[in-house]
Amino acid sequence: MILHTKLLLIILDGVPWRNWRRLFGNLEGWVQSGEARVWKMRAVLPSTSACCYASIHTGVTPQMHGILSNEVRFRVSQPDVFSEVTKAGGKTGAVTHSYWSEFFNRHPFDLVNDIEYDEPGGPITHGRFHTMTGYGHDNQMTPSDVDLFATLTMLAERHGIDYGILHTCTLDSMGHRFGHDCGEMDHALAVMDAMLAAFLPRWLDNGYEVMVTADHGQTDRGHHGGHDDEMQDFALYYFGKGKGPAADTLLDQLQLAPTVLARLGVPVPPTMKAKPFLS
């Protein structure tokens, strides 16, 4: 089956709405020049990373998929973006934290066998993971983002993936350490924006639509998980031909999975009840 298009989803963990719009000069420049659109999206509750990852890919609430904290993890039972793209004959790629492999392929994560795999049957056709084992306040244990962007580009160009996701915790870790209103964070966001900008035109040239977004926001004190605009709200930037809603529309995170499938031309499973925001 030939899919309608190809798409890359870039998840920058833990960036609040305000800092997307103030400090991502490249992304904002593409919005200003008309090459991208941006909307505000609101995370599920709890606005905790693992819960959000599972909702981003299944389109169902944490209360339904059951991932209710970062500590309790298992292979989720609902259909998700990887499973549906693979079922439709597409190839998927993941360059993410190992939780994504646990939720959508197999749990627990086997350090040696799961750190990298190529499995034609899917659901994740080409997986490249990192665990951040030993992560703490002073030691982020994140890979360099340029390495992650390069790895996703390699999967796109060498393996021809139809759908790829990249997820990085660098900015979430910076936020937990320094908060979101400080010089350290200004600099970290500018570095991320510049690293991303070096790869994004190449992805578009390769025929991909691209979405850049977060899993949740974060407060100036460096917290998230609760019911608060700073914790829940973030930006979603979209590069592609799909038609979207008015600029002031507040998107629901549960719309992301069915929107990705709809853009790819993959049937949306009945469990994903939210309406796609692109047509």
Query: What binding mask, one character per residue, do residues 145-184 give for Zn ion by CB under 5 A, x or -?
Result: ---------------------------x------------
| Cβ at position 52, least distance to Zn ion in Å | 6
Contact residue for Zn ion among 14, 59, 242, 258 (CB under 5 A): 14
- Distance of alpha carbon 222 from alpha carbon 253, whole angstroms: 21
**Phi, psi of 209, rounded to the nearest 5 degrees:** -80, 150
Contacting range for Zn ion; rule: CB under 5 A; set: 14-22, 63-71, 81-89, 266-274: 14-22
- Distance of alpha carbon 237 from alpha carbon 250, whole angstroms: 13
| Cβ at position 225, least distance to Zn ion in Å | 9
- Distance of alpha carbon 125 from alpha carbon 132, whole angstroms: 22
**Locate tokens 């966001």: which residue?**
189
Residue 115: partners with Cβ closer than 8 Å, 6 or more residues away: 128, 129, 130, 131
Report DSSP state, residue 212.
Answer: E
For the segment 33-52, give every residue that binds Zn ion (CB under 5 A): 49
Told to check if 225 binds Zn ion by CB under 5 A, we report no
Report DSSP state, residue 3.
Answer: -
**Phi, psi of 236, rounded to the nearest 5 degrees:** -125, 115
Contacting range for Zn ion; rule: CB under 5 A; set: 184-192, 204-212, 215-223, 251-259: 215-223
| Cβ at position 250, least distance to Zn ion in Å | 20
Residue of 40, 7, 86 whose CA lies nearest to 269 = 86
Q: CB-wise, 174 or 264, nearer to Zn ion?
A: 174
Told to check if 13 binds Zn ion by CB under 5 A, we report yes
| Cβ at position 13, least distance to Zn ion in Å | 4
Q: CB-wise, 85 or 165, nearer to Zn ion?
A: 165
CB 59 within 8 A of CB 257: yes
Q: CB-wise, 49 or 78, nearer to Zn ion?
A: 49
- Residues binding Zn ion (CB under 5 A): 13-14, 49, 172, 215
